[in-house]
């Protein structure tokens, strides 16, 4: 990573403004999954241990530029306090005079959490006045919110115009794992792409076809590729508008010499339901009244074999409707193959992350990304505004 990090700053007596991603589930004032909060602790602890006072800011949910009581960050401050064993103050102010008074009263080693950035209409507009108000709170800006780095908001990009801006440890890890893997993969380098639609991930597929040795496709998007090859898909989900796009991707793979693997068999069902009647059929045997909801056993074996010989793997998207146990076997097989592999394995995207965590295999892979949309845009080869705003080394 060619960006400066918090290691490049002398923090004694300085005030750090840290953008974190505390967009976590809260029910009745209690934090549910605290993975994102825990992910930010190494950065906060480093700053505190090196003599800084810390002002944290984050969004939570989609309050649509107004105050929503259930989306206040006080429960997050309380939860962070218990995790770190220190008192984390919370202020009801997003920015402005009240926030400035709270920030200026901090002494080294103390932590303050500002209110939900999206309560202020200027945040998502990347308004200059809000960015300046944020900048008035600290000496240095630290972006540790990879999950929001693809947004050009006042708290991710705007404030970096007015303060020296460096990466936190989570941001550094994400960029090294994703961007670093794309730039310098050990080969064979393969990518597994799943999910419902080609149109959601066309940029990812196009970019990766120029970089990987093999591309394995599953999920609903595979149906459109198979239809483009002339296979009947019965009642399966397909994107008719993306058939020509799929043909172009198949041709591009052939031109580049990239191995493109599609399912050769499938688990089909007579209805989209957990208790549907199911069959295993070859791809040539999908008939009217039946729909593909998972990859079949031959495809699982072929994909696992490809994973086993790889040195670098990026996985984004499930192989089927993994939320229903009857159609989770393909996704589980890919997750298990990754867990058994010696390859560097990077998991990006909400559904594939949820799947590997649900299957208890999260600790068996090299890196799990905290940023769904940001991960996708990085895999597409896009420049993330929140990353571009950081100081180069």
Identify the helix (H) or strand (E) that includes residue 87.
none
Active site residue 373: yes
How far apart, in whole angstroms, are the C-alpha atoms of residue 321 and residue 224? 16
Catalytic residue among 61, 180, 285, 373: 373
Mean pLDDT in residue range 151-176: 97
How far apart, in whole angstroms, are the C-alpha atoms of residue 174 and residue 210? 22
Mean pLDDT in residue range 331-345: 95
pLDDT band at 202 (very low <50, low <70, confident <90, very high): confident
Average pLDDT, the chain: 95
> 372: helix, coil or strand?
helix
Catalytic residue among 15, 19, 36, 201: 36
Q: Which residue has the higher pLDDT, 379 or 48?
A: 48
pLDDT digits 0-9 by tens, 232-263: 999 999 999 999 999 999 999 999 999 999 99
How far apart, in whole angstroms, are the C-alpha atoms of residue 94 and residue 124? 13
pLDDT at 1 over 80: no
Active site residue 344: no
Paired tokens of 143: 């972006």
pLDDT at 349 over 80: no
Confidence (pLDDT) at 130: 98
Strands (DSSP E) along the chain, which ranges?
Answer: 15-19, 26-27, 30-31, 53-57, 88-90, 111-113, 140-143, 165-167, 189-193, 214-217, 259-261, 265-269, 278-282, 291-295, 312-316, 344-347, 367-368
Q: Where do the domains of the chain lie, and which CATH numbers do they carry?
A: 6-170 (3.40.50.1260), 177-379 (3.40.50.1260)
How far apart, in whole angstroms, are the C-alpha atoms of residue 179 and residue 378? 7
pLDDT at 304 over 80: yes
Express as a percent the part of the chain with pLDDT over 90: 85
Confidence (pLDDT) at 355: 85
Task: Check if the beta carbon of residue 385 is closer than 8 Å to that of residue 151.
Answer: yes
Catalytic residue among 350, 364, 372, 381: 350
Q: Which residues contact 284 (CB under 8 A, 6 or more apart)?
A: 231
pLDDT digits 0-9 by tens, 55-91: 999 999 999 999 999 999 999 999 999 999 999 999 9
How far apart, in whole angstroms, are the C-alpha atoms of residue 112 and residue 125? 24
Q: How far is CA 192 from CA 8, 266, 294, 335, 352, in A?
A: 36, 17, 15, 11, 10
pLDDT at 217 over 90: yes
Active site residue 74: no
Confidence (pLDDT) at 350: 67
pLDDT band at 200 (very low <50, low <70, confident <90, very high): confident
Express as a percent the part of the chain with pLDDT over 70: 99
DSSP annotation of 291: E
How far apart, in whole angstroms, are the C-alpha atoms of residue 393 and residue 391? 6
How far apart, in whole angstroms, are the C-alpha atoms of residue 280 and residue 269? 9
Catalytic residue among 14, 132, 197, 256: 197
Mean pLDDT in residue range 325-344: 95
pLDDT at 171 over 80: yes
DSSP string, 140-205: EEEE--GGGTTS--IIIIIGGGTS-EEE-HHHHHHHHHHHHHHHS--SSEEEEE-SS-HHHHHHHH
Token pair 């919370």: residue = 90
Phi, psi (deg, nearest 5) at residue 202: -60, -40
Q: Which residues contact 47 (CB under 8 A, 6 or more apart)?
A: 6, 11, 16, 18, 54, 142
Active site residue 350: yes
How far apart, in whole angstroms, are the C-alpha atoms of residue 343 and residue 338? 8
């Amino acid at each position: 990573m060619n960006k400066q990090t918090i290691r490049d700053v002398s923090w004694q007596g300085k005030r750090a403004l840290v953008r974190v991603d505390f967009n976590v589930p809260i029910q009745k004032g209690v934090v549910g999954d605290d993975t994102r909060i825990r992910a930010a602790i190494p950065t906060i602890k480093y700053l505190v241990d090196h003599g800084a006072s810390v002002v944290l800011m984050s969004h939570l949910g989609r309050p649509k530029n107004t105050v929503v009581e259930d989306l206040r960050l006080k429960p997050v401050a309380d939860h962070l306090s218990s995790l770190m064993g220190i008192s984390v103050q919370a202020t009801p102010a997003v920015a402005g005079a009240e926030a400035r008074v709270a920030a200026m009263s901090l002494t080294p080693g103390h932590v303050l959490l500002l209110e939900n950035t999206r309560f202020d209409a200027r945040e998502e507009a990347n308004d200059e006045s809000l960015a300046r108000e944020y900048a008035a709170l600290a000496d240095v800006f630290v972006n540790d919110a990879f999950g929001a780095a693809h947004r050009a908001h006042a708290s991710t990009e705007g404030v970096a115009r007015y303060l020296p801006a460096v990466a936190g440890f989570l941001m550094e890890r994400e960029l090294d794992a994703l961007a670093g893997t794309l730039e310098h993969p050990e080969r064979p380098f393969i990518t597994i792409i799943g999910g419902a639609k080609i149109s959601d991930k066309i940029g990812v597929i196009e970019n990766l076809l120029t970089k990987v040795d093999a591309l394995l496709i599953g999920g609903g998007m595979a149906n459109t590729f198979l239809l483009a090859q002339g296979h009947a898909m019965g009642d399966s989900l397909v994107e008719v508008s993306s058939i020509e796009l799929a043909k172009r991707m198949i041709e591009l793979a052939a031109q580049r010499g990239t191995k493109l693997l599609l399912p050769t068999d499938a688990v089909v069902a007579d209805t989209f339901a957990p208790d549907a009647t199911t069959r295993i059929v070859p791809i040539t045997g999908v008939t009217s009244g039946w729909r593909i909801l998972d990859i079949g056993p031959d495809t699982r074996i072929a994909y696992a074999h490809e994973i086993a010989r790889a040195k670098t793997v990026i996985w984004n998207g499930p192989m089927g409707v993994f939320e229903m146990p009857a159609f989770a076997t393909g996704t589980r097989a890919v997750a298990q193959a990754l867990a058994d592999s010696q390859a560097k394995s990077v998991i990006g995207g909400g559904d594939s992350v949820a799947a590997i965590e649900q299957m208890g295999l999260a600790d068996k892979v090299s890196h799990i990304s905290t940023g769904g949309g940001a991960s996708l845009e990085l895999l597409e080869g896009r420049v993330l505004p929140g990353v571009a705003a950081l100081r180069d080394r």
